[in-house]
């Protein structure tokens, strides 16, 4: 095995009295390529155990839409040692812990969070699920109904469903634009062989990261991992189909008309990839525009004009693409004006440099919220595992902070000009009937 210490997540700061506690993640690569990372928190009463597989919805085909997410469900449905979902749950909950999983576009994560003296149990249960799930055909058919109910529930939640539609508006008929849960038709067609093939080709050792954070030591975790996580195939996983960020769908406006009292708006623009050097400037730009009640969008759309109850922006980054999104919930009669105001605010960012005071506030907000997001063993375990899997490294917190602090007004306007282009904006709306031609005109997107 290959072992080395990653650069410290928190390094002592000379200008603080006594500095801060150094939390340095340590990484070991096991034989076969599976990576183990631990992040120590000596004062914690817990450990967070997270297994990341670089296998998300993006790797699916037209026929297997939803297989990554469906498999996530099935991994909880029984193993040889723990033959039912109840037995698996009771093993962790009986120790006072919690367990769950999630599927994203480019990864799936299985995790549990337990008292620190239950580390071996936590790792054993996850390894059991990972390598010895029964995938019983009767359970698959039973869970098929559950997954289809989840798909239906998602459609019944306009605020989240509009995000799914925006993916289609930005990426079109590419895996990145498909729903992570799949469709009812594709879920109906998935069989046991599809799950087995997915496990064998995607849940491989080089494509897997085990991340443990909390009150434990690296050597203890590695010793357990060598015994419990040796079953992954050593082969590399297949490459995902690339995204052509310059090619937008023929129709980048999607409407879902339904008789509800509020219109849910999501306006998105293709942005930058996970490793792009402009990611720090984009984080500051995002804070200026739409994070918090002091952001430009909140002040202009809600406080000054009273057009929306909720409005804000966010950034998503992937291996070769990304998305900048503005979301709002508005009364139907305010949709056209709200979209127009949002586009005006985006355009301002490309023409007028952010003032020194506003820039400093955005930096303070971004840095502060970033630090506060890393308070728990769960947060540190998730960050370390996802970073190692998707970036190949764990960037030290103080390095991120330094890069955020170094962003200038020129950086922000340059990135705004790179990304915030009206002719590249896509729009999704879920709600009552709207003036579609006028909205298309605003975006320059003829139907």
CA 89 to chain centre: 25
How many angstroms separate the CA atoms of 150 and 176, rounded?
A: 20
Q: pTM of this prediction?
A: 0.93
Provide the 10 A C-beta neighbour count for residue 397.
21
Distance CA 394, CA 327 (A): 30
What is the structure's pLDDT at 2? 53
**pLDDT (0 to 100) of residue 20:** 41
Q: What pLDDT is stored for residue 247 in this prediction? A: 81
- 21-35, 128-142, 371-385: least confidently modelled range: 21-35
- The answer to whether residues 154 and 275 belong to one domain is no
CA 87 – CA 94 distance, rounded (Å) = 10
- Which position has the higher pLDDT, 133 or 444? 133
Give 145-208 as a DSSP string: HHHHHHHHHHHT-HHHHHHHHHHHHHH-SSGGGS-TT--HHHHHH--HHHHHHHHHHHS-GGGE
Residues 285 and 420 grouped into a single domain: yes
Percent of the residues in the chain that have a pLDDT greater than 90, as a whole number: 91
pLDDT band for 24, please (50, 70, 90 cuts).
confident
pLDDT computed for residue 67 by the predictor = 98
Q: Does 278 lie in the same domain as 214?
A: no
pLDDT at 245: 76
pLDDT band at 6 (very low <50, low <70, confident <90, very high): very low
Alpha-carbon distances of 245 from 89, 171, 238, 321, rounded to whole Å: 42, 9, 21, 7
Range of the domain at 199: 2-9+23-228
Find, among 199, 200, 265, 182, the residue nearest to 432 by Cα. Answer: 265
When divided into structural domains, the chain yields a total of 2
Asked whether residue 246 is domain-assigned, the answer is: no
Give Cα separations from 32 to 144, 151, 234, 250 (angstroms): 34, 37, 5, 44
Give me the chain's average pLDDT, please. Answer: 93
pLDDT (average), residues 413-438: 96
- Please give the Cα distance from 309 to 294 (Å, whole number): 14
Residues 221 and 257 reside in one and the same domain: no
Instruction: Establish whether 72 is a catalytic residue.
Output: yes
- With respect to residue 243, please indicate whether it lies within any of the assigned structural domains: no
* Region for 26 from its dihedrals, namely left if φ exceeds 0, alpha if ψ lies in -120 to 50, beta otherwise: beta
Lowest mean pLDDT among 33-37, 168-172, 243-247: 243-247
Q: Do the strands 208-214 and 35-40 form a parallel or antiparallel pair, or are they unpaired?
A: parallel
pLDDT at 446: 59
Q: Could you say which of 26, 29, 60, 72 is catalytic?
A: 72
Q: Which has more pLDDT, 2 or 379? A: 379
How many alpha carbons fall within 13 Å on the CB side of residue 326? Answer: 30
CATH assignment of the domain containing 310: 3.30.830.10
Confidence (pLDDT) at 23: 76
Q: Mark whether 262 and 185 lie in a shared domain.
A: no
pLDDT of 105: 97
Residue 230 makes CB contacts below 8 A (sequence gap 6+) with: 30, 31, 32
Same-domain status, 321 and 388: yes
Residue 347: band (very low, low, confident or very high) from pLDDT cuts 50, 70, 90: very high
Inform me whether the pLDDT recorded for 9 exceeds 50: no
pLDDT value of residue 447: 57
The residue with tokens 């930096």 is: 363
For residue 99, pLDDT beyond 50: yes
Q: What is the pLDDT of residue 250?
A: 87
Residue 350: count of CB within 10 angstroms of its CB: 17
Among the candidates 213, 228, 243, a domain finishes at 228
Do 191 and 306 lie in a common domain? no
User: Do 214 and 331 lie in a common domain?
Assistant: no
Q: Does residue 332 sit in the same domain as residue 210? A: no
Q: Is residue 247 part of a domain?
A: no
For the stretch 145-199, pLDDT in tens is: 999 999 999 999 999 999 999 999 999 999 999 999 999 999 999 999 999 999 9
Q: Which of 49, 67, 39 is nearest to 119 (CA)?
A: 49
pLDDT digits (tens, 9 = 90+) for 303-342: 999 999 899 999 999 999 999 999 999 999 999 999 999 9
Contact 290/214 with Cβ under 8 angstroms? no
Asked which of 41-45, 231-235, 277-281, 363-367 is least confident by mean pLDDT, the reply is 231-235
Task: Determine, yes or no, domain membership for 354.
Answer: yes
Band of residue 17 on the pLDDT scale cut at 50, 70, 90:
very low
Q: Is the pLDDT of residue 66 over 70?
A: yes
Report in angstroms the alpha-carbon separations of 407 from 22, 329, 346, 375, 388.
25, 31, 19, 25, 25
Are 152 and 273 in a shared domain? no
- What whole-number distance in Å separates Cα of residue 288 and Cα of residue 412? 10
Q: How many other CB atoms are there within 10 angstroms of residue 351's CB atom?
A: 9
Considering the domain architecture, whether residues 257 and 202 belong to the same structural domain is answered as no
- Asked if 210 and 385 count as a contact pair (C-beta separation under 8 A), the reply is yes
* Whether residues 351 and 390 fall in one domain: yes
Q: Does the pLDDT value for residue 1 go beyond 90? A: no
The mean pLDDT value for 101-122 works out to 98
Using alpha carbons only, what angle is made at residue 228 by residues 222 and 229, rounded to the nearest 5 degrees? 80
């Amino acid at each position: 095995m290959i072992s080395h210490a990653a650069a410290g997540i928190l390094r002592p700061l000379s200008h603080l009295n006594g500095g801060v506690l150094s939390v340095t993640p340590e990484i070991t690569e096991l034989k076969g390529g599976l990576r183990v990372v631990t992040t120590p928190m000596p004062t914690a009463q817990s450990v967070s155990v997270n297994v990341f597989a670089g296998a998300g919805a993006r790797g699916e085909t037209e026929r297997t839409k939803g297989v990554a997410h469906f498999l996530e469900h099935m991994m909880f449905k029984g193993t040889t040692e723990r033959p039912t979902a109840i037995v698996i749950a009771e093993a962790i909950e009986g120790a006072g812990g919690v367990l769950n999983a999630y599927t994203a576009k480019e990864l799936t994560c299985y995790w549990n969070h337990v008292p620190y003296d239950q580390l071996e149990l936590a790792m054993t249960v996850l390894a059991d699920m990972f390598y010895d799930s029964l995938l019983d055909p009767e359970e698959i058919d039973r869970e098929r109904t559950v997954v289809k109910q989840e798909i239906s529930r998602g459609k019944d939640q306009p605020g989240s469903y509009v995000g799914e539609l925006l993916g289609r508006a930005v990426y079109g008929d590419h895996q990145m634009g498909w729903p992570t849960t799949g469709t009812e038709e594709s879920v109906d067609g998935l069989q046991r062989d599809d799950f087995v093939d997915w496990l064998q080709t995607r849940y491989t050792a080089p494509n897997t990261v085990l991340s443990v954070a909390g009150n434990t030591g690296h050597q203890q975790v590695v010793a357990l991992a060598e015994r419990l996580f040796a079953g992954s195939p050593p082969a590399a996983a297949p490459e995902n189909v690339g995204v052509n960020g310059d090619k937008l769908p023929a129709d980048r406006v999607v409407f879902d008309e339904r008789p509800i009292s509020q219109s849910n708006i999501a306006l998105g623009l293709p942005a930058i990839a996970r490793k792009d050097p402009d990611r720090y400037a984009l984080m500051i730009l995002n804070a200026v525009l739409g994070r918090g009640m002091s952001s430009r969008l909140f002040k202009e759309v809600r406080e000054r004009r009273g057009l929306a109850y909720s409005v804000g922006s966010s950034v998503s980054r992937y291996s070769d693409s990304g998305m900048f999104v503005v979301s709002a919930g508005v009364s139907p009669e305010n949709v056209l004006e709200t979209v127009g105001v949002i586009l005006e605010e985006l355009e301002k960012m490309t023409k007028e440099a952010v003032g020194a005071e506003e820039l400093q506030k955005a930096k303070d907000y971004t840095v502060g919220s970033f630090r506060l997001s890393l308070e728990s063993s769960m947060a540190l375990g998730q960050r370390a595992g996802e970073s190692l899997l998707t970036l190949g490294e764990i960037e030290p917190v103080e390095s991120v902070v330094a890069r955020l602090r170094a962003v200038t007004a020129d950086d922000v306007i340059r990135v705004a000009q790179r990304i915030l282009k009206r002719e590249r904006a896509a729009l999704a709306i879920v709600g009552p009937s709207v003036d579609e031609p006028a909205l298309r005109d605003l975006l320059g997107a003829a139907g």
